Amino acid sequence: MARIIQKYGGSSVANLELIKGVARRAVASKNEGHEVVVVLSAMRGETDRLMSMARGLNPDPMPRELDNLLATGEQVSIALFALACQSLGEKVKSFTGLQAGIKTDDDHGRARIIEITPTRIKTELAKGRVVAVAGFQGFNRLGDLTTLGRGGSDTTAVALAVALKADLCEIYTDVEGIFTTDPRVCEKARKINKISYEEMLELASLGSKVMEIRSVELGMNYGIKIHVRHAHAQSQGTYICEEDTDMEKTPVRGVTFSVNEARVTLLKVPDQPGVAAKILGLVSKAGIVVDMIIQNQSVYHPVGEAGTSLTDFSFTVPILDYPKAMELMKEAGREIGAEKIVGDDNIAKISIVGVGMRNHAGVAALMFQTLAKEGINLSLISTSEIKISCIIEKKYAELAVRALHDAFKLEIPS
Ligand code: ADP
Ligand code: ASP
Ligand code: MG
């Protein structure tokens, strides 16, 4: 007997027929002799619908009230799921985040789980019931509802797997697993049988929405075995697990892109100590997370009596924070003496990821040659041990994904 967490995403519970199918699947696992805890997302489109209703009434909704509203989506799903299980003759109990003991901090809209006290879940499992838990939600020290951020049901599932010492965490979704790139963008995308936590973490943080970032982080920190698979097919999906020596043979595991960032550039700022600290200090004080940072070598002629050189300084921020970042930089630019502040939100970040990059030469060169062949210009580049990212014009994002997928022969199983 194993203890299994099964998480079903919004598209997997988009209508009553699909909810029945999900209930049948959970009950089948239970009948194989397992303890089953099911985490459910809101029905497809529901969170967006609730969000747009809120914004229709109030363009700047209070985070606490927004959480009260958004959390209802998942509550509908667990209740319908429980009713479907019951109609199959199965004993079942559903729990909201509060009833499930999922305690978070106070950061409404992007709360972090602090601890889980799964007493009631354990009691119901011991009584032989299937347990359903609302994803994406918890409660803070005041007992107020909180939500975990978009895609947060993945995090609920992995966090429950940790708290309940589950043997396996299954993430059921609308594709057959993790692919070499988003199968909706590249028809040659291929399902990967296993991927390391580290690679999945990079893919998630660089744009692949198939797994939420924090869920992968948790899985990695606690060694939770995660199986990502299709909710309505029996095929084996992708295991997210520890890296093994096999994985290093492939230089690139996947390609991803994100159009959720914007670039801010300060032109001709004095190239002297403290300038970067000043710029980034202001941005971080406003709670804006900076991603890529690049400072050009001083290319301008020395100016002034002290002979200060000038340089350009660029960084990227989430697109939602772009207007604020531009506003802050206009102020900062005046203070530090930048010639001009320019920005661009018409960009995409395209990335390749793979643990094999550590010991394969020429990966960056092939990436840049491939993009150059397509006439795509790179405005920023950043690298880490296992990834290379480039900022390009937004309209080339999908073309770049397909070209890189071909260049690294990702359709061929490794
Ligand atoms: P759920 O509603 O089940 O949480 P999501 O919409 O959050 O599902 O994530 C699944 C989607 O992620 C897929 O439909 C697919 O378009 C997208 N996706 C992006 N990158 C990848 C990838 N590398 N592998 C698989 N799916 C991906
Ligand atoms: N319903 C939430 C969302 O749409 C959480 C989730 O689906 O994971 O983001
Ligand atoms: Mg999701």
Average pLDDT of the segment spanning 112-120: 98
Whole-number pLDDT of residue 174: 96
Q: Which domains does the chain have, with CATH numbers?
A: 3-174 (3.40.1160.10), 256-407 (3.30.2130.10)
User: Is a pLDDT exceeding 70 seen at residue 150?
Assistant: yes
Residue 414 pLDDT grade (very low, low, confident, very high; cuts 50, 70, 90):
confident
Whole-number pLDDT of residue 126: 97
Whole-number pLDDT of residue 299: 67
Q: Is the CB of 333 under 6 A from ligand 1?
A: no
Contact residues of ligand 2, CB 6 A cut-off: 9-10, 41-42, 47, 73, 135-136, 150-154
* Ligand 2 mean position, distance from CA 21 (Å): 20
pTM of the model: 0.93
Q: 229, 233, 176, 182: which is closest to 209 by C-alpha?
A: 182
* Ligand 1 mean position, distance from CA 61 (Å): 28
* Ligand 1 mean position, distance from CA 399 (Å): 19
Q: Per DSSP, which regions of 203-319 are E strands? A: 226-230, 238-241, 254-258, 261-270, 293-295, 310-318
Ligand 1 atom having least distance to the Cα of 185: 16
Average pLDDT of the segment spanning 119-142: 98
The pairing of beta strand 261-270 with beta strand 310-318: antiparallel
User: Is a pLDDT exceeding 70 seen at residue 303?
Assistant: no
Q: Is the CB of 101 under 6 A from ligand 1?
A: no
Percent of the chain with pLDDT over 90: 89
Residue 306 pLDDT grade (very low, low, confident, very high; cuts 50, 70, 90):
low
Average pLDDT of the segment spanning 47-66: 97
Ligand 2 pocket: which of 47, 51, 96, 145 to mutate (most atoms <8 Å of CB)? 47
In this structure, what are the phi and psi dihedrals at residue 112, rounded to the nearest 5 degrees?
-105, 140
Residue 295 pLDDT grade (very low, low, confident, very high; cuts 50, 70, 90):
confident
Considering the chain, what is the average pLDDT of its residues?
95
* Ligand 2 mean position, distance from CA 283 (Å): 28
DSSP structure class, residue 211: S
Average pLDDT of the segment spanning 104-124: 97
Q: Per DSSP, which regions of 70-152 are E strands? A: 92-95, 102-104, 113-116, 130-134, 137-139, 145-147
Whole-number pLDDT of residue 29: 97
Whole-number pLDDT of residue 302: 57
User: Is a pLDDT exceeding 70 seen at residue 300?
Assistant: no
Mapping DSSP to helix (H, G, I), strand (E, B) and coil, where does residue 99 land?
Answer: coil
Return d(Cα 176, Cα 232) in angstroms, integer.
Answer: 9
Residue 401 pLDDT grade (very low, low, confident, very high; cuts 50, 70, 90):
very high
Q: Is the CB of 208 under 6 A from ligand 1?
A: yes
Q: Per DSSP, which regions of 55-112 are E strands? A: 92-95, 102-104
